[in-house]
Chain A
Amino acid sequence: MDSSYTILILLIPIFTFFLLGFNFKRIKEPTSGIIGTALIGTTALISYFTAFQYFTGAMKGAIVDGVYQKVYTMNTVWIEFSDTLHIDMGILIDPITAMMLIVVPTISLMANMYSIGYMHGESGYTRFFAYLSLFTFSMLGLVLSTNIFMIYIFWEMVGVSSYLLIGYYYNKPSAVLAAKKAFIVTRFADFGFLMGILMLGYYGGSWDFKVLSDLGFIESLQQAYGAVFMGLSVITWALILIFMGGAGKSAMFPLHIWLPDAMEGPTPVSALIHAATMVVAGVFLVARLFGLFHFMDDGAALTVVAYVGALSTLFAAIIAFTQHDIKRVLAFSTMSQIGYMMLALGVSGYSGHDGLGFMASMFHLFTHAMFKALLFLGAGSIIHAVHSNYMQDMGGLRKYMPITHITFLIAALAISGVPPLAGFWSKDEILVAALHDNTLIFAVGYIVAGMTAFYMFRLYFRIFWWNEPNYKHTPHESTNTMTIPLIVLAVMTIVSGFIPFHNLVTADGAHIETHIDWATAGASVAVGLVGILIAMFMYKKENTISKRFRSGFGNFYEAAFAKFYIDELYMFVTKKIIFAKISAPSAWFDRNVVDASMNGVGNGTVWIAEKIKGLQSGKVQDYAMFFISGVVVIAMLFWFFI
């Protein structure tokens, strides 16, 4: 079967965007929500079909000798610079794309369906669904890109739709600020990304993923470029810059500051964009260029990835202990889990059992998308019921919201790594891979596994147990359109751990053998259970243990609560140093030298125009005089110069 139907995966969402975007005054609630959900549902079906065709080998060229290949279902040259360097537009399917074709439409469909009820009564209801379709289009374009420049284009479009959705409540100043912050921070990171792309194009000579993942090509690059700066080759520097872009989108330390603020957006947006799909774009990018990352300079760039991931995962987990806003706890949890995926990629080898880290990272990306979206949507359901983001206003909700309660518990158990839920399988593979490669990183991963269990159950017990506050309105379970996505995602959370990822998604496309390492698995489950038990002890009933702990840690608690003052550091650097020492003098120069000279030219022109107006006297005899003198002067000039 011809695979060009895959273009529909992009065409339907963008059509939805234009349909809803141009008619946002005419299409009313809830029609627009239903249209959006139905069309994204169609996209999801086509995507599943594509992934199915690919993994079963029914797609032409998908499997050669038992190894998954990169398939271009269509590709046209858009802008050509040279024979090898050109920007193409096309559709690439390979194992990680096929996997993302399941993740993105599923979560998007759930978020769309959930929003039908959640956004009820908001002004700009249709606008919201239009933006959601725009985001879905951009994200799918990103994962289907055939070359790194095309990824960059969709990467920016994803950023724009994220900006629009965070700032959805545009009459709320904090939302506008958060949208701006997210956009500026990620744009700053994308500056590195673009430089990396250009360096890769200039020195590497190609942007095409088939070429860039070809081992022979990578070998030739390795031969061609020696160390130029700090012992690394120019290609490795390009990769580090590209990773900077990925770190910005994926909220890796120190570019993570936008993610907590982005929680100002509506909760389905947080679930879709800031938990499951957009924020893993950085992981996807590293996975996409994994061959280069792994082989250039013996994986120097990959080591950077590993340590940034490890640092971020620990850092975010500590902050998550101290936050009161349930969405912010989830945001730091997201950052921590993405750090997990990054460190898994960082410790991975390329083929065979060494490639376990890559597979585990993708596996965790997949399972995390499911249970983290579930957690966010559950949080949205809770916020919808109690009209507050803060845990202080919650407690004892298990009686009022049974479905939310059970699904939230499933997700919390999954993220804590309790078998047989999805998180257990993927997290276990990551720890095995880390132990195999680097003991320090394994230690960080192991400690964070326990910390994750603790803060997630702190959240769980604090919301659903503890003591009931005095609710103004009795909380009640959400509507069906909101609970159905919760149930679907809960089912996915339970079953997705059993997907045979080692047969489907690997770095080199070949199968790898995996088996449960009982020692590691037992240890990680144990640390998770310890975390859960401590949380239960501290938060199941109202007590003062946590307060005493808080005062015990004193300054360290304060610092963690203030997110280790990273935001303040940025503010100091921008306001006190860049604005005061660089921007102000440049502004002076611009105003008094550049503008002044331009104004001078303008004023001079007007002045001349004023001075020569006498020439146009209105008398025909004068005109005749000028005419004849003109002829004479011109003729004489040429006589003179001939």
Chain B
Amino acid sequence: MNLDTFLLMRHEIGLTIIVLLLLLADIFMEDKKKVNTVAVALFAIYTAIGFVPMDSGELFGGMFSTTPLIVAFKNILNVGVLLILMISVSWVNKKMLPINKVSEYYVLMVSSLLGMFFMISAGNFLMLYIGLELATLPVAALASYDMFNRKSSEAGIKLILSAALSSGILLFGISITYAITGSMYFDIIAGNMGLSYLGILGMVMVFAGIAFKVSLVPFHFWTADVYEGAPTPVTSFLSVISKGAAVFVLMILLFKVFPDMKGIWINLLYGLSILTMFVGNLFALRQTNLQRFMAFSSIAQAGFILLGFLSVDELAVSSIVYFIAIYILSNIVVFGAIQAVGLASGKYEMDDYTGLYRTNPKISIVLMLGLFSLAGIPPIAGFFGKFFLYSAAASQGYYMLVFIAVVNVTISLYYYLKVIRASWLRKSDDSIPYFESDSFLKAGVLIATVGLLILGVASPYYEYIYSLSNIFN
């Protein structure tokens, strides 16, 4: 192994360096507030470097592999994390006082991302599992970051307990596949898996372990409590980055490791897609807390993503990756707005947003665009994301499922519009007064919003992803 091949791990090496530098910065910098700027700046530079073209290849005897699609996906996640870091800054400053900590937040988040990258690049179940744990444990700490808030602590505890359970199930599933094929390497498993009762159990257990992170019904119960209790930036990290990475891994596992059981998991995805969409939407209907509301919204969105899996070809891969990219931006826009309002007023209930447009028109416009994108209203990007997912399912003749999805979009429209109605159409005497957010937050939300508008009209981006999507060979 020489330096060139080692640089295939450029993203992972970069993240490790950032973690180390941040720890040093925490020690040596007097003014802790500057650590924020350093963290964001370092991550921004790193994100930019990530876009330098890179070869595909394998490391450590196939444990770690990378392809142009994986690089593109890592870049998408990088951009998402960068935006989340930007909307976190003022909140981290606010929570700094009691124990004088700042770098901890960034170190944890970047470590979690590092875990996800190993998970995405894994060519072996061990690597996958280690990556998964590295991705989960820091998030549990982040969820309880607001340590003097009981709900935050509860979120951390619930996440770690549920994650431990799902890890156990995943490990059980991995050991069953090992028992059948005698290997942990994906390509060997794919060749020897076959179709057997034991194999089905193993596949379902592995599936459940990942589905936990994607929040598919019935593995979704932790989502609402954790999303509600965790600090807003952490919730947005969980709902977009963590979920996006897990969806990608699920795709790799199903398409490349368990192709022999396609007949089984197609039906599994079909059923869970309907179940997830309905449960997510029906619960979202009656939520009043915005973060909890977004939790169920993200469950429903996960149900939509499953539609894309069904075509099992390049269209499936590209529609999923494209949807995740747009979903990351849409969610960051909405969470950025929630964060801005929450920071200024400490309010997170839907009713508090009544009359927001009159006092804070800009944030209301941004919030509206984000919610429109989630609801899939053209010409904002979210519409095209959903459109390609539908095309993927329809290309294999699953018209009934597409119809059910459309019914669910209609239901979701109702609750997304509920928020917009509160902020735009209703009047209130004690609406949240005018406030100014810090420039990091503004810039982050602005970039995400502009991205949404541009991706809504720029087709070359989708074509680029499509050109990378041939993972079947």
Contact = CB atoms under 8 A, between A and B. Distances in A.
A618 interface: yes
Contacts of A629: 218
Interface string A427-448: 0000000000000000000000
Interface in A590-642: 602, 605-606, 608-610, 612-613, 615-616, 618, 620, 622-624, 626-631, 634-635, 638-639, 641-642
A616 B283 contact: yes
Contacts of A635: 200-201, 204-205
A148 to B, nearest CB: 30
- Name the prevailing secondary structure of the B interface residues: helix
A620 B165 CA distance: 10
A642 B218 contact: no
A629 B285 CA distance: 26
A639 B286 CA distance: 37
Interface residues of B, number: 31
B282 interface: yes
Contacts, number: 75
A337 B198 CA distance: 91
A620 B264 contact: no
A14 to B, nearest CB: 23
B285 A606 contact: yes
A609 to B, nearest CB: 4
Contacts of B195: 642
A610 to B, nearest CB: 7
B282 A612 contact: yes
B7 interface: no
B268 A634 contact: yes
A631 B283 contact: no
Contacts of A610: 286
A66 B337 CA distance: 72
A623 B169 CA distance: 14
A610, A623, A629 — most chain B CB neighbours (10 Å): A623
B197 interface: yes
B165 A627 contact: yes
A641 B414 CA distance: 37
Contact of A627 (B204, B221, B264, B411): B221
A612 B195 CA distance: 36
B219 interface: yes
Given A630-B218, A631-B204, A620 B161 contact: yes
Contact of B221 (A606, A608, A616, A634): A616
Contacts of B268: 634, 638
B166 interface: yes
Given A627-B221, A634-B268, A639-B197, A605 B282 contact: yes
Contacts of A623: 158, 162, 221-222
B227 to A, nearest CB: 12
Interface in A557-615: 602, 605-606, 608-610, 612-613, 615
A627 B200 contact: no
A638 B161 CA distance: 28
Contacts of A608: 282
B118 to A, nearest CB: 25
A631 B224 contact: no
B212 interface: yes
B228 to A, nearest CB: 10
Contacts of B279: 612
Nearest to B292: A616
B166 A627 contact: yes
Nearest to B216: A630
B366 to A, nearest CB: 25
Contacts of A627: 162, 165-166, 169, 208, 212, 218-219, 221
Nearest to B197: A639
A612 B411 CA distance: 16
B169 A616 contact: no
Interface string B200-230: 1100110010001000001101101100000
A638 B208 contact: no
Contact of B162 (A606, A620, A630, A639): A620
A613 to B, nearest CB: 7
Interface string B431-467: 0000000000000000000000000000000000000
A638 B286 contact: no
B208 A630 contact: yes
A609 B264 contact: no
B221 A622 contact: yes
Contacts of B157: 620
A635 to B, nearest CB: 5
A613 B286 contact: yes
Contacts of A609: 282-283, 285-286
Nearest to A634: B204
A632 to B, nearest CB: 9
B166 A642 contact: no
Contacts of A626: 218, 221
A609 B212 CA distance: 22
A172 B283 CA distance: 52
Interface string B91-115: 0000000000000000000000000
B283 A630 contact: no
Given A606-B285, A609-B283, A613-B286, A639 B218 contact: no
A635 B219 CA distance: 14
Contacts of A602: 414
A627 B163 CA distance: 11
Nearest to A606: B285
Given A620-B158, A623-B222, A624-B162, A631 B208 contact: yes
A642 B169 contact: no
Interface string B267-307: 11000000000010011011000000000000000000000
Interface centre among B165, B166, B218, B285 (most CB of A within 10 A): B218
Interface in A113-165: none
Contacts of B166: 627
A361 B208 CA distance: 81
A609 B284 CA distance: 9
Contacts of B200: 635, 638-639, 642
Given A613-B283, A620-B162, A638 B218 contact: no
Interface in B159-217: 161-162, 165-166, 169, 195, 197, 200-201, 204-205, 208, 212
A613 B218 CA distance: 14
The 5 closest A-B pairs by CB, nearest first: A623-B221, A630-B218, A609-B282, A609-B285, A635-B204
22 contacts: A602-B414, A606-B285, A606-B286, A610-B286, A615-B221, A620-B161, A620-B162, A623-B158, A623-B221, A623-B222, A624-B162, A626-B218, A627-B162, A627-B221, A630-B218, A631-B208, A634-B268, A635-B201, A638-B200, A638-B264, A638-B268, A642-B197
Interface of B: 157-158, 161-162, 165-166, 169, 195, 197, 200-201, 204-205, 208, 212, 218-219, 221-222, 224-225, 264, 267-268, 279, 282-283, 285-286, 411, 414
Interface of A: 602, 605-606, 608-610, 612-613, 615-616, 618, 620, 622-624, 626-631, 634-635, 638-639, 641-642
Given A602-B414, A627-B221, 6 more contacts: A605-B411, A610-B286, A615-B221, A618-B225, A623-B222, A630-B218
